[in-house]
């Protein structure tokens, strides 16, 4: 599987995204030809440049300023009429849908009434469609993105001076890992954020790859401290252990009954916790207590902390980042005398029957659970 990774250590914008894909090998002529079918009247340039000594590609959209706003349906019509692959159209439309939802929430209106302002301008339309087209030209099947450097300070917009990240960017990045470093300015734009959060399936460290190409997309300015580039890495996925960033949520609890803690555990799993554990503790004043530990993804961190506060008596939580190594794995099904069971197989050959499948068969067929598990193991080994 071809995997792409955007490293947004200096933020991400639409033109930086396209520049990084062109620099990694996407065809400029194919990109230019595809974007021209949007009929915006724009011209396109790809310029080789440097940022802090790093060679990069700067993507330009040249057009006459248009003093009009576009609604979402106008932009979707432009995309639909363009001579682009269905996958490119679908992804570009999804990015604008995500962006429209964020703008609508920020401005307290509906997505149908959102004026896209700068986002509806020709350059932003071409940036979003161009990034989706560039990923398609490179054959990217799965996309990941690093934590976002959003920058700091303020930025001038049509709504006046706003703090960085702007309200739309902040809304788009809810639940995603962010930080602020470097120059006092906007580094991650709404267009860049919308592209990444819509198209990427994971956020954090680089997934395991066999690298085939790298590319650098240049931002507008050349900073004195850091290279103002977005790096794109292209490669084939491998079976190596994958490092993912997780949040560990902990609380020491000494005045909640075991029944309530058990209920809280169920709710946390239902809400997407990767793991939940409860350990016995001897706390201050020799009181018996429990350590509740929850492993959360960046996307579920906020909702899971809310569940812990709501369902337990704790008044405080400890949150810290950790790296989670995950081996490559896949599922296959085997036929047992009791029914079909999924088998989880890791990249090193280890395997295990899926517990929930075995439990359901044991209950419905009136067979001991240990027998179902043994028969599933035997069926897998017999068919290897």
DSSP 178-230: EE--SSSSB-S-HHHHHHHHHH-SEESSPPPEEEEEEEEEE-SS--SSS--EE
> At residue 315, does pLDDT exceed 70?
yes
CA 74 to chain centre: 27
Return d(Cα 170, Cα 150) in angstroms, integer. 9
Q: What domains are there in the chain, each with its CATH number? A: 2-238 (no CATH), 243-325 (3.30.70.1380), 329-382 (3.10.20.300)
DSSP string, 7-42: E-BTB--HHHHHHHHHHTT--HHHHHHHHHTT----
- CB under 8 A, 24+ apart: contacts of 298-302: 298/175, 298/176, 298/177, 298/203, 298/204, 298/245, 298/246, 298/247, 299/175, 299/176, 299/203, 299/272, 300/175, 300/271, 300/272, 300/273, 301/175, 301/247, 301/249, 302/174, 302/175
Which residue carries 């507008």 as its tokens?
220
Which tokens belong to 336?
Answer: 């047992």
* Confidence band of 115 (pLDDT split at 50, 70, 90): low
Mean pLDDT of the residues in the chain: 91
3-state secondary structure of 314: coil
Return d(Cα 203, Cα 57) in angstroms, integer. 24
Name residue 58's beta-bridge partners.
47
Taking the CA atoms of residue 224, residue 225, residue 229 and residue 230 in that order, the dihedral angle to the nearest 10 degrees is -160
Which residue carries 């997934």 as its tokens?
207
Determine the angle formed by the axes of helices 355-365 and 369-382, rounding to 10 degrees.
120
Return d(Cα 7, Cα 147) in angstroms, integer. 8
**3-state DSSP: the chain helix, strand, coil percent, rounded to 5?**
35, 30, 30
3-state secondary structure of 174: coil
* Confidence band of 105 (pLDDT split at 50, 70, 90): confident
Phi and psi torsions of 332, nearest 5° = -140, 165
> At residue 194, does pLDDT exceed 80?
yes
Q: Judge contact between 177 and 203, C-beta under 8 A.
A: yes
Return d(Cα 225, Cα 52) in angstroms, integer. 8
pTM more than 0.75: no
Q: What is the pLDDT of residues 156-180, one digit of tens each?
A: 877 789 899 999 999 999 988 899 9
Give the chain's end-to-end CA distance (angstroms, integer): 24
Q: What is the pLDDT of residues 238-295, one digit of tens each?
A: 766 666 778 999 999 998 899 999 999 999 999 999 999 999 999 988 889 999 999 9
Q: Which among 76, 54, 51, 201 has a CA at the least distance from the CA of 128?
A: 76
Please give the pLDDT value at position 230: 98
């Amino acid at each position: 599987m071809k995997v792409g990774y955007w490293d947004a250590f200096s933020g991400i914008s639409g033109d930086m995204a396209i520049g990084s894909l062109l620099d990694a090998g996407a065809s400029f002529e194919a990109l230019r030809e595809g974007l021209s079918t949007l009929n915006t009247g724009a011209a396109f340039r790809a310029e080789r440049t440097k940022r802090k000594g790093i060679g990069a590609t700067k993507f330009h959209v040249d057009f006459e300023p248009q003093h009009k706003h576009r609604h979402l349906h106008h932009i979707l019509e432009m995309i639909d009429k363009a001579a682009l692959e269905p996958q490119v159209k679908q992804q570009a439309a999804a990015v604008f849908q995500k962006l429209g939802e964020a703008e609508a929430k920020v401005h307290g209106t509906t997505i149908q009434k959102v004026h896209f302002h700068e986002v509806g301008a020709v350059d932003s339309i071409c940036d979003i469609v161009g990034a989706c087209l560039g990923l398609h030209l490179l054959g990217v099947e799965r996309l990941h993105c690093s934590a976002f450097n959003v920058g700091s300070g303020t930025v001038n917009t049509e709504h006046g001076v706003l703090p960085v990240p702007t309200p739309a960017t902040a809304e788009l990045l809810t639940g995603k890992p962010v930080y602020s470093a470097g120059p006092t300015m906007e580094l991650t734009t709404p267009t860049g954020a919308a592209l990444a959060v819509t198209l990427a399936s994971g956020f954090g460290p680089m997934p395991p790859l066999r690298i085939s190409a790298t590319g650098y997309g240049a931002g507008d300015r050349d900073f004195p401290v850091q290279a103002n580039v977005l790096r794109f890495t292209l490669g084939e996925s491998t079976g190596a252990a994958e490092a993912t960033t997780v949040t560990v949520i902990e609380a020491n609890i000494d005045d909640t009954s075991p029944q309530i803690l058990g209920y809280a555990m169920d709710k946390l799993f239902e809400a997407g916790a990767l793991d939940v554990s409860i350990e016995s503790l001897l706390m201050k004043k020799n009181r018996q207590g429990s350590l509740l530990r929850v492993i959360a993804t960046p996307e579920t961190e906020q909702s899971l902390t809310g569940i812990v506060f709501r369902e337990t008596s704790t008044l405080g939580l400890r949150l810290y980042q950790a790296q989670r190594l995950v081996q490559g794995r896949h599922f296959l099904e085997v036929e047992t005398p009791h029914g079909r069971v999924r088998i989880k197989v890791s990249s090193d050959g280890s395997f295990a029957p899926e517990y929930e499948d075995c439990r359901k068969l044991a209950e419905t067929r009136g067979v001991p659970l240990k027998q179902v598990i043994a028969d599933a193991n035997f069926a897998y080994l017999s068919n290897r």
